[in-house]
């Protein structure tokens, strides 16, 4: 397998983290996440991946998979990271959808714009991200009051999806001291076999 990757991207990190948990060997190629991405990625990349997004995972047969959620589902099929039971699978999908719709657009976007992009956002935009991002963190904190993980009573790709940008949320201005259960969960995720860091 070959991964079009970037060490600052939480979405790429999700894929590398699951590949590490599963012990699947792969090669990787760094792709920019700042500036004029279309120009930097070039025609060869777009020929393989018309969407032009990373992560892109190229399988051994040459098939290219895009979108981190889809890639996680593909890799986790038939493993403990994606439960077989119908309701548990739905819970995994619920939290992964939450991450994409409520969490990432605010926490990940704030981090990207404040840390990686040269042109900084307005204070009003930052306030909007902060408000919505803290709302998402409060949802997570409430869930973790009675649960060690987000779905199926164990560590799954739902946790991988949420961990990727939560553990670097302070880089986007989201302080986590007020979320003690999230802090404990972050430590619990780091203790999983095969865990790697964002930039590993």
> Across the chain, what does the average pLDDT equal?
94
- Residue 36: band (very low, low, confident or very high) from pLDDT cuts 50, 70, 90: low
**CATH 3.30.930.10 at 86-190, yes or no:** no
Residue 49: pLDDT band by 50, 70, 90 thresholds?
A: confident
- pTM, rounded to two decimals: 0.94
Side-chain-side CA neighbours of 1 within 13 Å: the count stands at: 20
Question: Can you identify the CATH homologous superfamily of domain 2-76?
Answer: Glutaredoxin (3.40.30.10)
Q: What does the longest C-alpha to C-alpha distance in the chain come to?
A: 49
Going from N- to C-terminal start, the domains of the chain cover 2-76, 86-190
Would you state the structure tokens that stand for residue 142, as one six-digit string?
Answer: 């409430």
In this structure, are strands 2-5 and 27-30 parallel, antiparallel, or unpaired? parallel
User: Residues of the chain with pLDDT > 90: what percent?
Assistant: 84
Per-residue pLDDT, averaged over 98-112, amounts to 97
Token code pair at residue 144: 């973790």
Q: What is the mean pLDDT of residues 157-180?
A: 97
């Amino acid at each position: 397998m070959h991964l079009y990757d970037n060490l600052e991207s939480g979405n790429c990190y999700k894929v590398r983290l699951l590949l590490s948990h599963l012990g699947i060997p792969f090669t990787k190629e760094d792709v920019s996440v700042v500036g004029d991405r279309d120009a930097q990625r070039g025609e060869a990349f777009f020929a393989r991946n018309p969407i032009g997004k990373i992560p892109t995972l190229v399988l051994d047969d040459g098939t290219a998979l895009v979108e981190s959620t889809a890639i996680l589902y593909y890799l986790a099929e038939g493993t403990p990271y994606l439960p077989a039971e119908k309701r548990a699978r739905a819970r995994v999908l619920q939290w992964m959808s939450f991450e994409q719709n409520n969490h990432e657009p605010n926490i990940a976007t704030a981090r990207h714009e404040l840390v990686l992009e040269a042109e900084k956002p307005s204070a009003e935009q930052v306030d909007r991200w902060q408000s919505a991002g803290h709302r998402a963190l409060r949802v997570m904190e409430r869930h973790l009051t009675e649960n060690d993980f987000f779905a199926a009573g164990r560590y799954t790709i739902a946790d991988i999806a949420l961990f990727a940008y939560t553990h670097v949320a302070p880089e986007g201005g989201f302080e986590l001291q007020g979320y003690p259960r999230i802090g404990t969960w972050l430590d619990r995720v780091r203790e999983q076999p095969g865990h790697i860091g964002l930039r590993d």
